[in-house]
A and B are shown apart, each in its own frame.
Chain A
């Protein structure tokens, strides 16, 4: 069986769904960040595959930019996470609800 575009896309979709579930279910901030990384990378797989399918570099360029942005996101995100941990001693989402209504 040859691995075709649809397989990549399916993989991408599955990964994206896993990421979505992770985003919804995780209460730990760090794991939440991981889930968002999965989301972005699932898209990257699709971009690369489609790019290859079309024989066009645009998709891969997009994927590179996504990777770059994901990296900077992690930088900012971890920074926030560390500050939060410093002040509160935990990274639990449920403690983060002083503002509501």
Chain B
């Protein structure tokens, strides 16, 4: 099994390095093919490992070599394939295989074709390190590695100002969270003496609660950055500047879920601190609603999907925070499939529309892009959580968890959000595929994507539909590692009322969205309608003015303070005082050199003056000595 582990881990690295060899050369189709092949081999290995785990083959654990060893610190490159990591590996390799294949078509005309595959495979490698590591330090390697790849890929079109800006924003925001994570690692190390998962978690129950709480808080701060939780969420929407396959892979399916993975992985830790868990859940619920609300009015197709991702991440955190780790992981998996599908579909639309992102400028695309239409609709259905699609099983479960745990406020929020989700998803679908063919006004001739791209997407479509049926198998598998709490609503009546009620609510939202946006009277908004001028709309459209606030109260002051530090403090105070001391010495020399007038008379006068001065001092001292024998002590008291 170790062989498969190594293949799963290193095939993406090989793929990345191989593609990197051709970064400076023009597009080579085979880089894409080879890269896809290698990623698929990683997928196959992951499947083998999954089967191995499912058959009760036990955890696969390898220690490749020592990484750092000093003092009492010992960090190996250790990798583990257990029930949790194999789930993540499946998600990662599956989605990335699809995205690789898809990208061969999507990036067809791009100059940086080879480079793209190099980055993309590097990302897969980092992600695999992240999920497979058997210790926190290794997780951190992957953690930072995906951050780097995300930076590279968001800024892939580096000639675009907005893309590079977004890339830097994402990297820096993540760094803020990484600091929290790092502090969490330090705490773990100094209190348990190790960074290995098993040993560290084994030691935690004996630690005092305050420390465990701090560890939990700092680790969660780390998770907040990667999973773009409030208030570190702004980068995710901006990250949509990257190529769409990147958004599908990184900013929907894998990297942003790393935070959830971290919390799930640290379940023994978070089990000890339910109050932190509650905070996580509350923040998750807030983010779910908050993000969904912004998605309601947005006019950028990719951003809408990004906000939806954010909202779903909130769901996952609710589950994880309430201790239903397996539920969180399940939703993570299901979400990965339909969200990636949604993004890839959006990619098709963008391709067809020549990178147009405003759905109001589309409409009626269902005719030229039939397959894409079907896929996106089904993905949206799954996202909305309609039975029997994947979203129903995973998302409703989270609602149930909140209900069973008696967090009714959370439950209400999540339920309401589910309605919003359905609305904005179908608002998007309706605007893009239904109604008048508004794109004609802009002289665009849309066409369907390559066939192999669509075929490539099909596994995702399949999984988006059927993933829910794996629930029990999955449950049995992961609960070997995670707390096996089943969330059943005891009263059958309540259960049915809730389920059907939810379905109805969601269904109504969908209908309302269709009614409002699928009709032929939709035009491209020009900022004159009443709704567009309402306060709520403006606030939502401007993302609650948060990016603006950050710009005004963090970015600008930082820049100004930097300049002040440099120009005022460094140059005018620190450096000037150094030069000032030198200047004083030099200036004193310059001023007093007049003493050397060159005139003999003056020189003689100086000499006499010196003697007379000494003489008068002598007289003073002599008199003093005569009248006080203490003078010596006084003078020696001066420290001479």
Contact = CB atoms under 8 A, between A and B. Distances in A.
Interface stretch (A3-11, A56-64, A71-79, A92-100): A92-100
A43 interface: no
B596 interface: yes
A88 interface: no
25 contacts: A20-B608, A23-B604, A23-B608, A24-B604, A24-B605, A26-B601, A27-B601, A93-B599, A93-B600, A93-B601, A94-B601, A96-B599, A96-B600, A97-B597, A97-B598, A97-B599, A97-B600, A98-B598, A99-B598, A100-B596, A100-B597, A100-B598, A100-B599, A101-B593, A101-B596
Choose among B598, B600, B601 the residue with the greatest number of A CB atoms under 10 Å from its CB. B601
Nearest to B594: A101
Contacts of B598: 96-101
Contacts of B605: 24
Interface in A3-52: 20, 23-24, 26-27
Contacts of B599: 93-94, 96-97, 100
Given A96-B599, A97-B599, A99-B598, A24 B593 contact: no
Choose among A27, A98, A99, A100 the residue with the greatest number of B CB atoms under 10 Å from its CB. A100
B225 to A, nearest CB: 66
Contacts of B601: 24, 26-27, 93-94
Nearest to A35: B604
Interface residues of B, number: 10
Interface of B: 593, 596-601, 604-605, 608
A23 B601 CA distance: 8
Contacts of A27: 601
Nearest to B612: A20
A20 B606 CA distance: 12
Contacts of B608: 20, 23-24
A23 B612 CA distance: 14
A23 B593 CA distance: 23
Contacts of A98: 598
Nearest to A36: B604
Contacts, number: 30
B311 to A, nearest CB: 81
A20 B610 CA distance: 13
Choose among B597, B599, B605, B608 the residue with the greatest number of A CB atoms under 10 Å from its CB. B599
A93 B600 CA distance: 6
B604 to A, nearest CB: 5
Nearest to B607: A23
A97 B604 CA distance: 13
A93 B602 CA distance: 10
Nearest to A27: B601
Contacts of B600: 93, 96-97
Nearest to A96: B600
For the complex of A and B, the 3 pairs showing the least CB-CB separation, nearest first, are A100-B598, A97-B598, A97-B599
Choose among A24, A26, A27, A94 the residue with the greatest number of B CB atoms under 10 Å from its CB. A24
A93 B604 CA distance: 11
Contacts of A94: 599, 601
A99 B597 CA distance: 8
Given A24-B601, A93-B600, A101-B596, 7 more contacts: A20-B608, A24-B604, A24-B605, A93-B599, A93-B601, A94-B599, A97-B598
Choose among A27, A97, A98 the residue with the greatest number of B CB atoms under 10 Å from its CB. A97
B601 to A, nearest CB: 5
Contacts of B597: 97, 100
B589 to A, nearest CB: 10
A27 to B, nearest CB: 6
A70 B601 CA distance: 21
Contacts of A99: 598
A27 B596 CA distance: 17
B13 to A, nearest CB: 73
B337 to A, nearest CB: 88
A94 B598 CA distance: 9
Contacts of B596: 100-101
Contacts of A96: 598-600
A23 to B, nearest CB: 5
A51 B605 CA distance: 32
Nearest to A93: B600
A98 B599 CA distance: 9
B588 to A, nearest CB: 14
B429 to A, nearest CB: 90
Nearest to A25: B601
Contacts of A97: 597-600
A28 to B, nearest CB: 11
A1 B356 CA distance: 127
Nearest to B604: A23
Contacts of A23: 604, 608
A98 B596 CA distance: 11
A26 B600 CA distance: 10
B619 to A, nearest CB: 14
A26 B599 CA distance: 12
A59 to B, nearest CB: 22
A77 to B, nearest CB: 13
Nearest to A23: B604
Nearest to B605: A24
A65 to B, nearest CB: 22
Contacts of B604: 23-24
A27 B604 CA distance: 11
Contacts of A100: 596-599
B586 to A, nearest CB: 14
B299 to A, nearest CB: 78
A20 B601 CA distance: 12
A100 B597 CA distance: 5
A55 to B, nearest CB: 28
A76 to B, nearest CB: 16
A36 to B, nearest CB: 10
A20 B605 CA distance: 9
B618 to A, nearest CB: 15
A97 B608 CA distance: 19
A69 B295 CA distance: 109
Nearest to A24: B605
A8 B605 CA distance: 27
A93 B597 CA distance: 12
A101 B598 CA distance: 7
Contacts of A26: 601
